[in-house]
């Protein structure tokens, strides 16, 4: 309602809404700087530890495993799917991912510009110590969330992007600005989830260990008893926490990793379906084709040929 009232007043002589125009000017500057640095279309680029991304057109849905990080959509819009959770990111929306999650992303409005930085658990932990005791409500949702980026967070991001113009400035001043960004995230809407990322014995930390275990064995037959034993928890606790954070079971997570890797391989070799299925852990070609079709809506070879003719984004 405030935004509507502000928009109406802003068209009247002598009227303005600084609280509204300030974030818009920050996003405009970020858009200009991202466009200047993101020289490759539809592929993320890491520049001095900052992810910049640009796409000129909408894309087909594409799977990826996203590491723990913070991202900000500056222009356009994107849709991300995690299990049965659907996240919509428009301009000014900040997304936080606290563990390695298999996501399906699609740009739904272009041109699209975004940036991101990796989350640093050690920095989060130190900020929790430096900030002193505070009441922490538990985070019960998945390990991903989307919310509005406020002016303080945007201001710090703008200053970090400006530092890209001078490597010496970035080297000396960058760490402090990254720390500040973590502070605003820690004290923002997703604070409870960010805090868990900095606690070594938190639910997120347990799930992160389980994810690392699965990813090193994604192409093998795994037993949940072995996984629970190796990371030091019970099967029931593992299943409960894993599903809460990732929106899927450990075996479903492994299946998504297998199928995502297979899909990427098939783009390059669409006619080698059986060999690719075997390489990601499927001994039975029929099972591979059946599970692939269930996830992506088409048999492996057909889907790969379709992807080659469409704009895709690899995250």
Phi, psi of 304 (to 5 degrees): -65, -45
- 177-186, pLDDT tens digit by residue? 999 999 999 9
Given this model, what pLDDT does residue 80 score?
96
Contacts of residue 87, defined as CB under 8 A and 6 or more positions apart, other chains included, come to: 79, 80, 81, 95, 144, 145, 146
Q: How far apart are CA 167 and CA 282, in angstroms?
A: 47
Sign of the C-alpha dihedral, residues 229, 232, 234, 235?
negative
The answer on pLDDT for 202 being more than 60 is yes
Identify the residue whose tokens are 């509204």.
20
pTM to 2 decimal places: 0.83
Q: How far apart are CA 86 and CA 83, in angstroms?
A: 8
Q: How many CB atoms lie within 10 A of CB 171?
A: 11
The answer on pLDDT for 313 being more than 50 is no
In this prediction, residues 200-219 reach a mean pLDDT of: 90
Identify the residue whose tokens are 């998504």.
256
Residue 8 — pLDDT band, cuts 50, 70, 90? very low
Given this model, what pLDDT does residue 85 score?
93
Residue 270 — pLDDT band, cuts 50, 70, 90? confident
The answer on pLDDT for 238 being more than 90 is yes
Q: How far apart are CA 122 and CA 186, in angstroms?
A: 13
96 close to 70: Cβ distance less than 8 angstroms: yes
Q: How far apart are CA 158 and CA 23, in angstroms?
A: 11
């Amino acid at each position: 309602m405030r935004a509507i009232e502000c928009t109406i007043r802003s068209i009247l002589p002598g009227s303005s809404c600084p609280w509204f125009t300030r974030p818009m000017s920050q996003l405009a500057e970020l858009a200009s700087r991202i466009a200047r640095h993101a020289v490759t279309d539809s592929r993320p680029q890491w520049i001095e530890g900052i992810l910049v991304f640009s796409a000129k057109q909408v894309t087909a849905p594409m799977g990826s495993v996203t590491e723990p990080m913070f991202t900000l959509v500056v222009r356009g819009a994107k849709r991300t799917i995690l299990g049965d959770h659907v996240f919509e990111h428009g301009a000014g929306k900040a997304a936080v991912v606290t563990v390695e999650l298999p996501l399906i992303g699609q740009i739904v409005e272009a041109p699209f510009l975004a940036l991101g930085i990796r989350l640093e658990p050690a920095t989060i932990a130190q900020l929790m110590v430096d900030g002193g005791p505070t009441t922490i409500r538990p985070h019960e949702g998945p390990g991903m969330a989307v919310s509005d980026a406020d002016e303080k967070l945007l201001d710090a991001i703008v200053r970090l992007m400006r530092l890209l113009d001078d490597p010496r400035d970035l080297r000396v001043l960058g760490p402090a600005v990254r720390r500040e960004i973590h502070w605003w995230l820690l004290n923002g809407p997703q604070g409870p989830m960010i805090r868990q990322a900095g606690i070594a014995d938190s639910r997120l930390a347990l799930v992160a260990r389980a994810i690392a275990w699965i990813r090193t064995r994604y192409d093998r037959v795994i037993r949940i008893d072995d996984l629970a034993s190796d990371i030091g928890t019970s099967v029931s606790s593992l299943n409960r926490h894993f599903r809460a954070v990732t929106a899927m079971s450990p075996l479903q997570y492994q299946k998504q990793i297998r199928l995502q890797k297979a899909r990427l391989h098939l783009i390059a070799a669409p006619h080698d379906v059986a060999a690719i299925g075997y390489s990601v852990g499927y001994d039975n070609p029929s099972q591979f084709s059946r599970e692939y079709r269930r996830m992506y809506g088409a048999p492996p070879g057909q889907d790969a040929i379709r992807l080659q003719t469409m704009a895709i984004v690899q995250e």
